[in-house]
Structure 1
Amino acid sequence: MAVTPGTFPARKRPPSSSLRLSDSKLTRSLFLLSHELSSLQPLRFILRLNSLCIIRRMKTLAAVLDDLLRFQFVYSHSVQLCFEEMHILMQRAKTLIDDCSHGSQLSLLMHIETVSFHFHELNIDLSTLLDILPVKEFPLTDDVAELVILLRKQCSLSKPSVDPRDDDLRREVIDLIDGIGRQIAPDHSRLRAIFTALGFRDSSSCTNEIERLEDEIQNQIDERSKSMAASLIGLVRYAKYVLHGTSPPPQPEIRRHKSVSEISIPSDFRCPITLELMRDPVVVSTGQTYDRESIELWIQSGHNTCPKTGQTFKHTDLIPNRALKNLIVMWCREQKIPFESSTEGGGQRTGGCTEPCKEAVEFTRMTVSYLINKLSVSSTMDESNSVVHELRSLAKSDSVARVCIAEEGAIPKLVRCVGSEHPALQVNAVTTILNLSILEENKTRIMETDGALNGVIEVLRSGATWEAKANAAATLFSLSGVASYKRRLGRKTRVVKGLVELAKHGPTSSKRDALVAILNLAGERDNVGRFVEGGVVEVAGEAFRELPEEAVAVVEAVVRRGGLMAAAAAFGQIRRLGELLREGAEATRESAAATLVTMCRKGGSEMVGEMAGIPGIERLIWEMIGTGTPRARRKAASLMRYLRRWAAGMDNAGDSHDQAADTQSIVVPTSSRIF
């Protein structure tokens, strides 16, 4: 738990039933808890004296309770109440020390006065309990009775205080941050002294502190606290590199974070439209929750009904579902998945702040400049790999870092690394470009940098590892988010062939990245013919069992936009699509039905006859009419009409209802890939 204002546990009394113990059990429980507290190590760097004071008093109290355990007697009601309150106080003390031990040291330092007061409160409350405790009722020895008197006196004399060394250290850190705001680079010897005093003696301890600060920034409410936390993260990142250098990446290269595509996302966390992890869940007027970007695209496309329920919107206001978003953030943290919220309310969110503070931006810029200069003078592949690995980590952190890395001229240097024969360096370089491409303005920088696009395409075709190929595919997906780039990429034969080959031969995660990129590029009608000629329909059909959602979505998009040629290419997949109607998930069945409707409309009786040969097809269609989503029910009804017309020998072409229904566009999943 973060040790910052507003995050301390409230001083709530536990339920009385949890403390209604027998006299001997209550005394033993108090003794064990006081003994546990007295055996704790005092805080090492910040608030050492405050924690040491509490621990010493717990040792004294443990001696008193140990003496009481030797006797059997009945407590009065007042003694029982005092001991119950003492039990609560000890739990508070343990929680406070634990929080200070495991939380961010810099955040603790910035709130040193508040936390010091919490320690002082413990002393005051212990003094009050000792004042009202009827010690004369206890059969204590004289020596132990004197300990109680001494402990009472010590607590009564306690005053709220901040260790002067802690206060001086806080002022030093604040001066550093203020200096950065004025673009004054910190003196390295001064920086080293501060970080040594905080216990950050190596790269690993700095990394741990960054992770703690990143956890805490999610719990901050006011923008000032978020800005301070962002500045502290920037300070530690900068100090980590200038004081300890870059760390060798793990060998062989191992992803520090999972891809969303590699794990099972809870259904409640998926957007009903894209089936991807929601980054900014919002509630519409029908009470359903969608990802903001997806539902805004749906509404802007002219729809006035809820995609899930089919109800007409009473209004188009989008209400943030903050409770669900917090659950998603917590789940991502547990799964080691980086989480960055999408734009909310029109402002770019960076590191949890609506507008990044200038100190955080300047620290990031200095860090990036240091890394890029080091990359320029690296003499070996391993040295370059270490630096690029750090840039990769930095590029996934937030949008400020992505802007700074691009503006400082990193992309041309990354392009040279992309062509490296060093497998880990190639993976790190192309993944850094992928992370940079998430930012819209960086897409243009990448596309306009000499050799950047060709380098990514070459990795897609002949990369050293499947991971490099998959991340190249994900980069092309990201770049194709710009309509003009989508057309440009689709015209390149190497892109088409590379994606189809990856979808055919790659491992599951790589196939998924290729299929999603193909699906996005197929949104441009001019690109569809090239993918059909490249064999994408057959490749997607082979992936129906392994990746049904992505594969059937590709076939649906290609058949819908590719004309009769695409429908003919998909003829051999009709029976497989029928299997998906029987075995697929809800979204997969809906997409398979939509694909069959388009094929029947474009391909005529031959297509319908092939579909009619699927065992049990009418029963499957009737089941979908009764239990499917609104769109699935409409598609299933169209399929049933085609079957009946075919059975009656009627021409099924030109069904205006189906043509109108098929004008609904396919929603392309948004990218969740950050590495």
Structure 2
Amino acid sequence: MTTVDGDSSGLFNSPSAIFSYLGRNLDGLRADSTTSAFSDCASDRSGEFAPGSGGRGLLAAACMGDRPDDDETIAQLVSDLESESLETQRSAAMEIRLLAKNNMENRVRIADAGGIEPLVALAQSSELQIQELGVTALLNLSLCDENKERILSAGADRALIRTLRTGTGTAKENAACAILRLSHKDEIKERIGRAGAVPPLVRLLESGSLRGKKDAAVALFALTTVKENKVRAVEAGVMRPLVDLMAEPESGMVDKAALVTLNLATAPEARASLVEEGGIPVLVEVLEDGNHRQKEFAAGILLELCEDSTRNRGLVAREGAIPPLVALSQTGTPRARQKAETLIRYLRQPRSGGNGARTTEISD
């Protein structure tokens, strides 16, 4: 028996689990038609900066590609990160970012050489290009599991949150990806939430570029598998952009927004906010017109809303949810069919079932 309508943290307790569920491989680019727009957050996708007047490091990086000749080269680059010259800092950060982008060995060597602490410092720079390079290098280093604790111990969570508030668009996107990569344990998710990551991620979801919205969505999903971050997200106003994105199929964000909403809907604060923001008509429309995955997500969210609320059952029924639910009960996956059947039963007998319990279980 698998609980599918309660807290979904058991299903999505790591970045890899999130992307596996969505048909996405964290290492690259596999995707089907319903998930191709989901950000992979696998390594940086930043543009290359023009070398300034100092260009030594960038030329070396171009010559070496991602294979430095020796540890002395990396040690010198790490030393240059702490130079008094902004141009030297910029060049070294760019080179380290490139060396760490696709090479696991280099990620370990850079960390072993002491590169994490100066990169965290650069990620808090008031010089936006240097800040972006520092954040992006930290993202690439975070792809190595053994670096995660070292990055967090250096205070990277606060640096990344500062970037979410003050950085360039690209820096904010890469900071969101880095937060996802670092959020591999519940205690770390709680720590990052307490440090203030949730409100700026909600703002990125609301007003960022398409890539920024995707990255914010997946970072929020990872963080909100712990209860206290669900409440923080609701208090930060997350339901308004989620409802808006689910209402806009052309955004390519319906799956992502619905999955985050399904995760949040286990919290009573989120359910109340979702109804208040007009989520029920939008979810019924997804049931009618969405793809198979979107319909299943919508049914799961509506089931959360209706399980212990006769008022919500009446609202959902009046929006015309029963016909598309009947169709889903006949054509969906086994999990989707059982969700639809349970929800139909609630809507047809609005005062039965539920009894305030949030333990609906559906067989695999």
Give me the TM-score of the superposition, normalised by structure 2.
Answer: 0.78
SS in 1 for 2:131: helix
1:624 equivalent to 2:320? Answer no
Q: Match for 2:218 among 480, 495, 516?
A: 516
Residue of structure 2 aligned with 1:501, choices 194, 197, 203 = 203
Considering Cα pairs closer than 8 Å and 6+ residues apart, tell me whether 1 or 2 has the greater RCO: 2
Q: Distance in 1 between matches of 2:313 and 2:330?
A: 22
The structure-2 alpha-carbon separation of the partners of 1:637 and 1:272, relative to structure 1 and needing over 3 Å to count, comes to farther
Tell me which of 570, 573, 592 is aligned to 2:274: 570
Superposed, 1:27-426 pairs within 5 Å as: 273-277=21-25, 279=27, 363=69, 365-377=71-83, 379-426=84-131
Q: Choose the corresponding residue for 1:470, options 173, 193, 196.
A: 173
Change (3 A) 1:383 1:369: same
2:289 aligned residue: 583
Change (3 A) 1:526 1:374: closer
Larger C-alpha radius of gyration, 1 or 2?
1
The residue that corresponds to 1:593 in the other structure is: 299
| Partner AA of 1:552 in structure 2 | A
Task: Measure, in 2, the Cα distance between the counterparts of 1:525 and 1:365.
Answer: 44
Q: CA deviation at 1:660?
A: 3.2
Alignment-mate amino acid for residue 632 of structure 1: A
* 2:318 counterpart of 1:613: yes
Q: Does 1:434 align with 2:136?
A: no
**Counterpart amino acid of residue 191 in structure 2:** R
Q: Which runs of 5+ in 2 are unaligned?
A: 1-17, 32-41, 45-65
Query: Does the aligned pair in 1 maintain the 2:67–2:99 contact within 8 Å?
Result: no
Q: Deviations over 1:91-136 (max 9, x none)?
A: xxxxxxxxxxxxxxxxxxxxxxxxxxxxxxxxxxxxxxxxxxxxxx
Q: Distance in 1 between matches of 2:217 and 2:20?
A: 19
Aligned pairs (5 A) from 1:483-502: 483-492=186-195, 494-502=196-204
Report how far residue 527 of structure 1 moved. Answer: 2.0
Task: Kindly indicate whether the alpha-carbon contact (under 8 Å) linking 1:598 and 1:662 is maintained by their aligned counterparts in 2.
Answer: no
Q: Distance between the aligned counterparts of 1:454 and 1:271, measured in 2?
A: 25
For residues 281 and 352 of structure 2, what CA distance do their matches in structure 1 show?
22
* Residue correspondences, number: 310
Superposed displacement of residue 393, structure 1: 1.0
Higher mean C-alpha deviation, range 467-476 or range 379-388 = 379-388
C-alpha separation between the residues in 2 aligned to 1:569 and 1:621? 23
**Which residue identity does 2:323 align to in structure 1?**
R
RMSD between aligned alpha carbons?
A: 2.8
- In the alignment, the residues of structure 2 paired with residue 361 and residue 421 of structure 1 have an alpha-carbon distance, to the nearest angstrom, of 31
Maintained 8 Å contact 2:157/2:192: no
Is the CA contact (8 Å cut-off) linking 1:371 and 1:387 kept in structure 2? yes
Deviations 1:154-173 (A, max 9, x none): xxxxxxxxxxxxxxxxxxxx
> What is the SS of the residue equivalent to 2:349?
helix
Given the superposition, is the C-alpha separation of residues 517 and 652 from structure 1 closer, same or farther in structure 2, using an over 3 Å criterion?
same
Can you list the C-alpha shifts for 1:418-474, whole angstroms capped at 9, x where unaligned? 12233222211101111111222211111111x4322211111111x1111111111
Q: Structure 2: which amino acid aligns with 1:660? A: T
Residues 290-348 of structure 1: per-residue CA shift (max 9 Å, x gap): xxxxxxxxxxxxxxxxxxxxxxxxxxxxxxxxxx99xxxxxxxxxxx979xxxxxxxxx
- Alpha-carbon offset, residue 278 of structure 1: 6.2
1:471 is paired with a residue of what secondary structure? helix
Q: Is residue 531 of structure 1 aligned with residue 236 of structure 2? A: no
Specify whether residues 540 and 412 from structure 1 end up closer, same or farther in structure 2 by C-alpha distance, changes over 3 A only: same
The answer to whether the 8 Å contact 1:430/1:471 transfers is yes
> Quick one: distance in 1 between partners of 2:218 and 2:19?
16
Partner SS, residue 639 of structure 1? helix
SS of the equivalent of 1:651 reads coil
Q: Structure 1: 5+ residue runs without aligned partners?
A: 1-269, 282-323, 326-336, 340-359, 665-675
Residue 639 of structure 1, aligned match among 333, 343, 352:
343
Partners of 2:356 and 2:119 in 1: CA distance: 53
Q: Is the 8 A contact 2:43 2:140 kept in 1?
A: no
Identical counterparts, % of pairs: 31
Whether the 8 Å contact between 2:317 and 2:347 is mirrored in structure 1 is yes
Q: Distance in 2 between matches of 1:641 and 1:364?
A: 67
Contact kept, 8 Å, 2:287 with 2:324, in 1: the verdict is yes
